[in-house]
Each structure stands twice: as C-alpha cells, then as structure tokens.
Amino acid sequence: MDHPSSSVRVNREPAMTDVARLAGVSHQTVSRVLNGHPNVREETRLRVRAAIAQLGYRPNRAARTLATGRSQLIGVVAQNSTLFGPSSLLAAFELAAAAQGFVVSVRRVKVLDRDSITAAVEHHREQRAAGIVVIAPTAAADEALAEVPTDTPLVTVDGDPERAGAALVTVDQEAGARLAVRHLLEAGHETVWHVSGPADWFDAAGRMRGWRRTLEEAGAEAPPVSPADWSAASGYRAGLMLARMPEVTAVFAANDHLALGILRAMYERGRSVPGDVSVVGFDDVPEAGYFIPPLTTVRPDFDTVAAQALSLLLSGISGEENGTARRVVTPTLVERDSVGSPTR
C-alpha cells in the first residue's frame, strides 16, 4: 500500500472542492447550493448540481457536524427487550425521526439501572447528539436521568408521570386501566381482580392505580393483587391461582401476554372465558384478536406517542421549550369476546 501522504490519494471520495472545480465555482457556492441558500444564480445552481451528479458527490456529515457544532443525530436509549410496547414505540420513533431528516442512533441497555442509563446517555452526548430520547419505564431509569446535565435536550418516554422538571411523553396508564375496569364493572361484575406487571415499572404502577381507584369510586372492594412480570408464564401462574377461586369472575391483566397466560390457565382448569370469568388485557398486540377467546384489551397508540416525543424533542432542540413540557396520550378500549356478564 502506498504511503498516504507521499502520494496523491487516488480514488478518494470527491469533496466539495472537487465539485467546485468541476463546476468552475468556489467551494462555498457549492455549500450554498447544498444548503438551499438564496442568492445563487439559477444557472450556477444547475451547474453545481450537474457536477455533483457527475462526480457522485455526497456531503461528509462529520465535517459538517464539526463545522457547525450541531448534528442531525438523535440518540435513543432503550432496554434490550422484545416486549411489544417498547419495540413498537422504538420502531415508530425511528420512522418519524427519519422522515424529519434525522439519524437515529439506538443504544440498548441490558438492565435499566442507574449506571447503564448514565453510560448510554453519556455515549450519546459524546456523539454530540442534537437530542436524546430515553425510554425509561422504571424508577431506577428515571432517577439516573435526574443527574444528567441539561445542556442536551432530552425527552423521557414512559417515565415517572409524577416527576417534575423533565420533558415527558407518556401513555395515560391510569385512564387505560379505568376503561378496562369500568367495562368489566358495567358488564355486571361485582369486582375485578388484577394481575399486575413488575412493581418498579411506571406502566404497571399506573395501571394498578387506575384499577384500584376505579373500584373505589364504584364502591367495590379491591381484591389482593397478583404480582407478575410481563410474561405469559407469570400470567399463567397467577391464572392458576385465580382459577381455583370461584369468586373470581373478572380479571384485568396488566398486559396482553399476561392475559394469554391467564386464558390458558382458565382453560386448563375448566373455567370458561367469558362464560365463567371475563378477562381484559392491555397493549392490543396484533395477535390478541386470535387468542381463545379473542381478547378485549386496551390499546395505547404508540405512533402518537412517538410523534409527540419527536415533536417535543424538536422544540427542545430549537430552543422553544425549556424541557418541562409533558404530553399524555390516552388509550382506547378494544372490545372483543373475552368479557361477558357474570352468571349467578
């Protein structure tokens, strides 16, 4: 291989000066054409564009970032999970950001603890990310964020709805839970049992809160909660317990996979759904309509959440927002066949 500095580099990527030379203008004029500045003669513009096409020139973003001090990069921190909610959110966000011309760089963390989150955020700051989005559904993640310097716009998704002083987009878990519980109550059930998600998730806490408050408002007694994680396996275990108790006629599961496990447990124990017990889930996973029976569930609109997060971040980047705004997205109820009236 030849020595880079001792020979003319052949086959190197064309740079702005190459385009300028070919078009017979200065590099700065090329820059102006590229950035859509006014005050460039139409004919010059065309000549430059032709030269760009002829050379196959592509601007070097690193150089631009260095010169301007800002990048078109949005950093995302998310958990390494294939859970439906987070991954839908991520996909929607990536698509929305790309549509706005942003590059999105995702940093997955194995666990949502303070150190991991801090490291991931720091990583993005090192890239000079224009803005950062953290999907922070647990208390530990949210706490870590409190320590982050505020010179980079940052939006939290699914963070602590109670915490002040951070731009936040979240699904109104409580409202979603109310929808589910009220639906069951209106079908005639005296009370509703709850299989909850992991206690340290805000989503789980919010759904539980909504469940409990709705029961209280209706004057119904709240039965003990069956704690679980988000998996079908833990839903199944909880379901086996609930199936043994004849007084259980309605169950609100913190997500659809838990509900799936519950459906399976009920089926195994010979308790018909919705004949003997009604079940409502949360998330509306694409296959929820094909469970046995098709699952009534609560649907959060992830596209909207993603769009809101992006818009909040962009206004943070442009300096319009001080970073304390919050947007709440309200979910809707999707009625299918897993809810019926109690038999007495």
Partner DNA sequence: GCCCGATTCGTTAGCGCTAACATGAAGTGA
Partner DNA sequence: TCACTTCATGTTAGCGCTAACGAATCGGGC
> What is d(CA 44, CA 50) in angstroms, rounded to the nearest whole number?
10
Residue among 40 and 140 whose Cβ is closer to DNA: 40
Sort 76 into a burial class: Cβ within 10 Å, 0-12 / 13-18 / 19+: buried
Q: Which two tokens stand for residue 129?
A: 């990310």
CA atoms within a 13 Å half-sphere pointing along the CA-CB vector of 302? 18
Q: How far is the CB of 287 from a copy of itself (least distance, A)?
A: 4
Size of the residue set binding a copy of itself (CB under 8 A): 51
Per rule CB under 8 A, is residue 98 in the interface with a copy of itself? yes
Q: How far is the CB of 146 from a copy of itself (least distance, A)?
A: 18
Which of 46, 50, 53, 63 touches a copy of itself by CB under 8 A? 63
Per rule CB under 7 A, is residue 4 in the interface with DNA? yes
Which of 41, 149, 162, 221 touches DNA by CB under 7 A? 41
The residue type found at 299 is R
Beta-ladder partners of 107? 77
Specify the DSSP class assigned to residue 291. S
Beta-ladder partners of 320? none
Q: Which of helix, strand or coil describes residue 1?
A: coil
Q: How far is the CB of 255 from a copy of itself (least distance, A)?
A: 11
Per rule CB under 8 A, is residue 44 in the interface with a copy of itself? no
Which of 49, 55, 59, 321 touches DNA by CB under 7 A? 59
Which of 7, 35, 82, 343 touches DNA by CB under 7 A? 35
Q: What is the DSSP string of 236-258?
A: HHHHHHHHH-TT--EEEESSHHH
Say if residues 250 and 188 touch (Cβ distance below 8 Å): no
Footprint of a copy of itself on 113-132 (CB under 8 A): 122-123, 125-128
Q: Which of helix, strand or coil describes residue 200?
A: coil
Q: How far is the CB of 319 from DNA (least distance, A)?
A: 15
Residue among 47 and 299 whose Cβ is closer to DNA: 47
Q: Which of helix, strand or coil describes residue 65?
A: helix
Binding site for a copy of itself (CB under 8 A): 58-63, 65-66, 71, 73, 80-82, 84, 87-88, 91, 94-95, 98, 103-108, 110, 122-123, 125-128, 231-233, 235-236, 257, 260-261, 263-264, 267, 286-287, 289-292, 294
